[in-house]
Amino acid sequence: MELFTYYRSTSSYRVRIALALKGLDYQAVPVNLIAPPGGEHLQAAYLEINPQGRVPVLRTDEGSVLTQSPAIIEYLEECYPQVALLSRDLVTRAHERAVAALVACDIHPLHNVSVLNQLRQLGQSEEQVVQWISHWITQGLAAIEQLIGDDGYCFGAEPGLADVYLIPQLYAAQRFNVALTPYPRITRVAALADKHPAFIKAHPSNQPDTPA
C-alpha cells in the first residue's frame, strides 16, 4: 500500500496510527502542503490522484485509490479485522464512533489551514485566528473529557478508534498552545499513547518528510 501523507496533517496522522496498530506495511509518499508556490497538493499531478487536493490518500495493494481518513480507516477495519479498532459491544462502538466524529467533524475542520486562510482573507487578525482555533479545540476537548472512560485508553485497556482520532487532535492542540491540564482523562490517554509503539511510529516527528 501507498499512503500519500504530510507529516503534521492530523488526518494523515490518524491513518498512520490505524496502519501501525494493525501492523500493516505501507510506503509513505510525502506531499508537501507548504511547498511553493502553493503546495504540492494543488499541483496537477496530485489532483489527478485526489481531485480535492487533500491528504491523506491510500492506494491499496490492488491499486484502488481511497480518500478521506474516515473512509480509509473504515476500509482498513473491514479488510484487516485481526487487530480491531472497534469494540465488540455495540453501545461502546457507538461511543467510539461518536468521539471519532466529534474530532473529525466538529473540531479538526474548524482549524484546517484552508479555513484559517479564509478567515485571514476576510480580514481577521492573527490574534483573532488564534482565538478561533483555541475556542473550537477547547470546546471539543471539554466534551470528549466527559465522554471517555476513567481507565486505560478512551474506552478500555487497548487503543481503539477513539484514540486513533484523539491523539492527532492533541498534537494539534499543543501546536496551537491549547493547554491540556483541564482534561485529566485525556491527559491519561495521551500518556499511554506516548509509550505505545504504534503511536510513536505514527507521530509527526518520526515521518520521512519531518523537517530536520
Q: Is the dihedral of CA 127, 132, 135, 138 positive or negative?
A: negative
Within 10 A of 54 (CB to CB), how many other CB atoms are there?
22
The SS3 of residue 3 is strand
90-199 belongs to which CATH class? mainly alpha
pLDDT at 120: 96
pLDDT at 118 over 90: yes
Q: Which residues pair with 67 in a beta bridge?
A: 57
Q: pLDDT averaged over the chain?
A: 97
Q: Find where cell 490517554 sits.
A: 189
Confidence of residue 188 (pLDDT cuts 50, 70, 90): very high
The phi, psi pair for 59, rounded to 5°, reads: -100, 115
Confidence of residue 113 (pLDDT cuts 50, 70, 90): confident
Q: Find where cell 476576510 sits.
A: 122
DSSP state of 206: G
Q: What is the pLDDT of residues 152-174, one digit of tens each?
A: 999 999 999 999 999 999 999 99
pTM of the model: 0.96
Q: What is the pLDDT of residues 52-93, one digit of tens each?
A: 999 999 999 999 999 999 999 999 999 999 999 999 999 999
pLDDT at 38 over 90: no
pLDDT at 56: 98
Q: Which residues pair with 3 in a beta bridge?
A: 28, 58
Query: Are the C-beta atoms of 199 and 160 separated by less than 8 Å?
Result: no
pLDDT at 108: 96
* All structural domains of the chain with their residue ranges: 2-83, 90-199
Q: Find where cell 499543543 sits.
A: 174
pLDDT at 121 over 90: yes
Number of H helices, E strands in the chain: 9, 4
CATH architecture observed for domain 2-83 = 3-Layer(aba) Sandwich (3.40)
The SS3 of residue 30 is strand
pLDDT at 91: 98
Pairing of strands 27-30, 2-5: parallel
Query: Are the C-beta atoms of 88 and 130 separated by less than 8 Å?
Result: no
